[in-house]
Chain A
Amino acid sequence: MVRVVHSAGLHCLSGYIVQVEADISDGMPGMELVGFLGSEVKEARERVRMAIRNSDVSLPVRRITLNLSPANIRKYGTGFDLPMAVAILKAMECVDGELTEDAVFFGELNLSGTICAINGVLPLVLCARQAGFHKCFVPKENANEAAIVQDIEVYPAGSLKELIAHLNRETMILRMKQNKEHFANEGNGDDTYDLKYVQGQPFARRGLEIAAAGLHNIILVGEPGAGKSMLSKCLPSILPPLTLDECLEVSSIYSVAGELRGDKSLLVNRPFVSPHHTVTDVALIGGGAYPKAGLAALAHKGVLFLDEMPEFKREALECLRQPLEDGEIRISRNNGSFRYPADFMLVGAMNLCPCGAYPDRSRCSCTQSQRKRYLDRLSKPLLDRIDICIEVKNLQYAQLSENIIQEDSKTVRKRVEMAKQIQFERFGEAKFNASMSREEIGQYCFLSQTGETIMERAFHKYNLSARGYYRILKVARTIADLGNSRDIGDEHLIEALHFRYTDLLNGIGK
């Protein structure tokens, strides 16, 4: 007779419910698995059999057939071990079926019957709740993560033996409490990087604040050792925290990538992803026959920091153009199209020439063509998506030793959060100025008469493109928000013009 247990599988970041059917019948003894299974799912046959046997249940010498439906979607991942085992036990009538109703099971088994952690528990449980299930059995290690989801009972299962006892109402597994403490967590972790340690750099500090307030893409240029990386690493300390929905979205991505384990069950701070410059395009945007999320997706709603930007492979950088425009990554394979959200803020750091000392000509001997070649590694279309460009200058000894107390990140963050509030109220959703559409720019970025004159002059003087023109308006809007001003004033516009991305080759070839 057929017994059914429910589980769920992952497609990109969303789950779908899977029915695991088990049937025990006469025939050649053995175990048959069907349902378009990936190789790790097929291997479950041995794991499940040994786990059941090592949980003091002997399998019948009969033919066991397992089917995972829907059978037209390829199943992968190790989370199906547990539901398969439970389905077999149910078919054997070793466990009482009642408690398995209205429940979903996830977990990998090892030969001794222990239940091991799997990736992607958060989106799986979210999917189960959406499908109307009220209970879920998850590996102990993933329990914290699963407990974030509201309105579903989470049971952490340590081993198959424990689970059998629970299902037979012998020893009950304690339900996990709703995991709420993480929401209250306001801290932003690392305080080794705080703006109070940054001496001088008035322009860079201000530029960073504007970028954080509107989540604008930003490039920092300057000499080696001037503090570009330091400033960028301070960014998380001034970024506004994630909203609840954003938390779940970002945590889901990390869950699928297997980066949520133990205490780290929910991300409340914006992620800060900083790949090495040898990163490949596939690692950056994701890939594989069944594409996995790349680093760009892991930076969703946060920061993708590219230190020494011209040293990155050109293909890798060019891959970022599409997510920068659409806020998501689409990868097409012959078995379907995969989408990962990738709405990140790009932060780049770079020198102005290969040796880094330009424009100090007493130390820099790079020729114009060397500089041009160096800067040309960044393509125009990519740079066209940079809203803000700031210079980080090497400090003089006097400035370093002065020890003036600088504004700390907390104070800056307050202003940033105020600007965030204004933006959220204006758009009626969690959206930042950087992702304003053309219509919204028309709606919210009015210029005064004098502002129009300035803009017109700047348009001709700087040879702005249409995209460049809108970008300046977006940044001006953020600056006005930081100043709590309803309209974009001339001073806001002028400041935005100052921070615009300029051609770093300015002056070459003239």
Chain B
Amino acid sequence: MNKEELMKLKGLNERSADYIIYRRNTWNYEAEWQKLMKSHIRFIPWHDECYPKRLLHTGHHPFALFVLGKLPEEEKPAVAVIGARECSEYGRLCANYFGKELSLAGVNVLSGMAIGIDGIAQQAALEAGGSSYGVLGCGPDVCYPMANRKLYAMLCNKGGVISEYGPHVPAASWHFPIRNRILAGLSDIVLVVEAKAKSGTLITVDMALDEGRDIMIIPGRITDAMSVGCIRLWQSGALVATNVEDVLDVLRAKGFSLSKDGHSSRNVLEQEKKLPLESTEELVYSGFDLYEKSATEVMEQTKLPYQEFVKALTKLELNGMLRETGRGYYVRDSGG
């Protein structure tokens, strides 16, 4: 079409027509394709047969995906494990547990490769030998956040990194809510580990609900700011996951065959480390929790004299049973 023809179309003025012609003349298809090949990025438009079917059936699927690594297998169930960046130790433990157990049960773990819950769940899934897929808010060849570069490398090798943005596109704050629709579209279940009352996680949940996905949450204490979002979702009808079996049951109901044999899933608490401890150490350890607690507080609870308490505390930290999160605040180290 030439300029006159373009301008006859509805919605195009002279400027846009000029731009279309300009791009047509300057766009070097061959060079752009070479660029993608060089960085091993696959370009998958929606009419491609590789384009994920789950995503295709949603109303707002992107025109094309840029993929580094694999795409999630169609026949395998996919669960998006998402949650707050600023997670508590409890969230860390849960993300670690569900990531690992889901991947052992043969489920693809999807998430946004963010700091906090997302990254922890994906890391755990990959470390357990399963595969995991990250949906990014930047080009697939950009590692954002940089703190997760180790996870990014693992995802590229053992799973995949998926984005609707082309190579070299930097992360921008408005990309993330939009990319959440892809994350929701690719998964069968969205599992929310921890979320504050106002959280980006809830955007993903909204989008997942639009597409008819199941929402599951992990309950926390009602007093805990990090669990308020989860509990609200629960109140509005989300399912509760206290165990990986809860998630698997929902997947089975959707028609996925997940065999129980070969692997028996464990309880969350079985994850905690157990080392033989002396009696005072046991006492001090029992005073701490998966939520941050101040040493002063626990010392008052245990009623131990200062010297003994400090000795037990420091020994527990050296053994890796406790971890200091801020000066004077400790949590049980979940190893996540």
CA distance A352 to B223 in the complex (A): 22
CB-CB nearest in chain A for B226: A361
User: A65–B299 Cα gap in the complex (Å)?
Assistant: 78
CA A458 to CA B225, docked complex, whole Å: 34
Q: Tell me the complex Cα distance, A202–B302, Å.
A: 14
Q: Choose from B226, B306, B320 the contact partner of A461 (Cβ within 8 Å).
A: B320
A278: interface (CB < 8 Å): no
Contact A504 B327 (CB under 8 A): yes
Asked if B296 and A491 make an inter-chain contact with CB atoms under 8 angstroms apart, the answer reads no
Q: B36 at interface (Cβ–Cβ under 8 A)?
A: no
Asked if B85 and A368 make an inter-chain contact with CB atoms under 8 angstroms apart, the answer reads: yes
**B324 interface contact, C-beta 8 A:** yes
Q: A200-B296, A454-B318, A461-B318 are in contact. Are A391 and B86 (CB under 8 A)?
A: no
Chain B interface residue bracket vs A: 20 to 34
Contacts of A361 in B (CB 8 A): 86, 88, 224-226
Within the assembled complex, what's the spacing in Å between the Cα atoms of A252 and B50? 83
Interface stretch, picked from B25-33, B179-187, B262-270, B309-317, is B309-317
A362 within 8 A of B: yes
Q: Is B326 an interface residue (CB 8 A)?
A: yes
Residue A206, interface by CB 8 Å:
yes
A200 to B294: give the CA distance in the assembly, Å: 13
Residue among B85, B224, B325 with most chain A CB within 10 A: B325
Contacts of A359 in B (CB 8 A): 292, 325-326, 329
Distance A510 CA – B232 CA, assembled complex (angstroms): 27
Chain B residues whose CB sits within 8 angstroms of the CB of A502 once the complex forms: 324, 327
Judging by beta carbons under 8 Å apart, are A495 and B292 in contact? no
Task: Confirm or deny: A358 has a beta carbon within 8 angstroms of a beta carbon on chain B.
Answer: yes
Does B212 belong to the interface (CB within 8 Å)?
Answer: no
**Chain B 187-220 against A: per-residue CB contact (8 Å), 1 yes, 0 no?**
0000000000000000000000000000000000
B147 to chain A, nearest CB (A): 4
The answer on a CB contact under 8 Å between A367 and B85 is: yes
Query: Inside 8 A of B225's CB, which chain A residues have their CB?
Result: 361-362
For B85, B325, B327, the residue with the greatest tally of chain A CB atoms inside 10 Å of its CB is B327
Contact B295 A391 (CB under 8 A): yes
Q: Is A494 part of the contact surface with B, judged by Cβ < 8 Å? A: yes
Establish whether residues A203 and B325, one from each chain, have CB atoms under 8 Å apart when the complex forms: no
Q: Does B323 contact A (CB under 8 A)?
A: yes
Q: Report the separation of the CA atoms of residues A390 and B294 in the bound assembly, to the nearest whole angstrom.
A: 12
| A457, CB-defined interface residue at 8 Å | yes
For residue B239, CB closer than 8 A to chain A, the reply is: no
9 cross-chain CB contacts under 8 A: A221-B327, A352-B327, A358-B326, A362-B225, A390-B327, A391-B296, A454-B318, A491-B307, A498-B310
Q: Quick check: is B328 within 8 A (CB to CB) of the other chain?
A: yes
The yes or no answer to B115 lying at the interface (CB within 8 A) is yes
Least CB distance, B161 to chain A, in whole angstroms: 20
- Partner of B328 from the list A391, A458, A497, A507 (CB cut-off 8 Å) is A391
Footprint of A on B, CB under 8 Å? 85-86, 88, 115, 147, 223-226, 292, 294-297, 299, 306-307, 310-311, 313-315, 317-318, 320, 323-329
How far is B310's CA from A495's CA once the two chains are assembled, in angstroms?
6
Inter-chain CA distance A458–B318, complex, in Å, is 6
Give residues of chain A (494-508) contacting chain B, Cβ–Cβ below 8 Å: 494-495, 497-498, 502, 504, 506-507
A309 to B147, CA, bound (A): 27
| Residues of A participating in the B interface, judged by any CB pair closer than 8 Å | 200-203, 206, 221-222, 352, 358-359, 361-362, 367-368, 389-391, 393, 454, 457-458, 461, 491, 494-495, 497-498, 502, 504, 506-507, 509
The answer to whether B328 touches A368 (Cβ under 8 A) is no
Which one of B86, B147, B314 contacts A498 once the chains associate, using CB atoms below 8 Å?
B314
A391 and B315 contacting across the interface, CB-CB below 8 Å: no
Residues of A within 8 A of B86 (CB): 361, 367-368
Least Cβ–Cβ distance between A346 and chain B, in angstroms: 17
B326 touches A352 (CB 8 A): yes
A393 touches B147 (CB 8 A): no
**A200–B306 alpha-carbon span in the complex (Å):** 12
A-side contacts of B314, CB under 8 Å:
494-495, 497-498
Instruction: Establish whether residues A206 and B85, one from each chain, have CB atoms under 8 Å apart when the complex forms.
Output: no
Inter-chain contact B296/A203, CB cutoff 8 Å: yes
Q: Verify B328–A203 contact, CB threshold 8 A.
A: yes
In the complex, A150→B85 CA distance in Å? Answer: 68
Q: Return chain B residues, CB-CB under 8 Å to A358.
A: 326
Is A504 within 8 A of B306, CB to CB?
no
Q: Please, how many angstroms separate the alpha-carbon atoms of A362 and B228 in the complex?
A: 10
Asked if residues A206 and B306 are in contact (CB atoms below 8 Å), the reply is: yes
Q: Are the C-beta atoms of B328 and A494 separated by less than 8 Å?
A: no
The winner among A352, A368, A502, A507 for most chain B CB atoms within 10 A is A507
Cα-based distance from A32 to B327 in the complex (angstroms): 67
B315 touches A494 (CB 8 A): yes
Tell me, in angstroms, the Cα distance from A222 to B326 when the chains sit together. Answer: 10
Most chain B CB atoms below 10 A, which of A206, A358, A390, A391: A391
Residue numbers in A under 8 Å from B313 (CB-CB): 498
**Of B296, B323, B327, the contact of A201 (CB 8 Å cutoff):** B296
In the assembled complex, the Cα of A202 lies from the Cα of B307 at a distance in Å of 11
Task: Note all chain A residues with C-beta closer than 8 A to B297.
Answer: 393
Distance (whole angstroms) from the CB of B153 to the closest CB of chain A: 16
| A-B residue pairs, 8 tightest by C-beta | A391-B328, A509-B147, A362-B225, A391-B327, A221-B327, A361-B225, A498-B314, A494-B314
Whole-angstrom CA separation of A363 from B290 in the bound complex? 19
Q: Which residues of B contact A494 (CB under 8 A)?
A: 310-311, 314-315
A454: B residues at CB distance < 8 A? 318
Q: For the complex, what is the distance from the CA of A348 to the CA of B315, rounded to whole Å? A: 27
- Whole-angstrom distance between the Cβ of B83 and the nearest chain A Cβ: 14
CA distance A498 to B316 in the complex (A): 11
Give the chain B neighbours of A367 by CB distance below 8 A.
85-86
CB distance from B294 to the nearest CB of A (A): 5
Contacts of A461 in B (CB 8 A): 317-318, 320
Contacts of A506 in B (CB 8 A): 323-326
How far apart sit A118 and B324, CA to CA, in the bound complex (Å)? 54
Query: With contacts A367-B86, A391-B295 known, is A504 near B311, CB below 8 A?
Result: no
In this complex, the member of B147, B226, B328 whose beta carbon has the largest number of chain A beta carbons within 10 angstroms is B328
Residue from B323, B324, B328 within 8 A of A393 (CB atoms): B328
Which of chain A's residues has its CB closest to B312's CB?
A: A494
Task: Give, as a whole number of angstroms, the nearest-CB distance from A166 to chain B.
Answer: 64
Most chain A CB within 10 A, of B307, B314, B329, is at: B314
Q: What are the residues of chain A within 8 A of B294 when measuring CB–CB?
A: 391, 393
Give Cα A295–Cα B147 distance, bound, in whole angstroms: 40
**Set of chain B residues within 8 Å of A201, measured between Cβ atoms:** 296
Decide if B85 touches A504 in the complex (CB within 8 Å): no
Query: B310 contacts which chain A residues (CB < 8 A)?
Result: 203, 494-495, 498
Given A202-B296, A362-B225: A491 and B311 within 8 A (CB)? yes
Starting from the known contacts A368-B115, A507-B323, 5 additional A-B residue pairs (CB-CB under 8 Å) come to A359-B329, A367-B85, A390-B328, A497-B318, A506-B326
> Complex: how many Å from CA A407 to CA B325?
30
User: Which chain A residue has the least Cβ–Cβ distance from B306?
Assistant: A202
Q: B224: which A residues are within 8 A, CB to CB?
A: 361-362
Contacts of B307 in A (CB 8 A): 491, 495
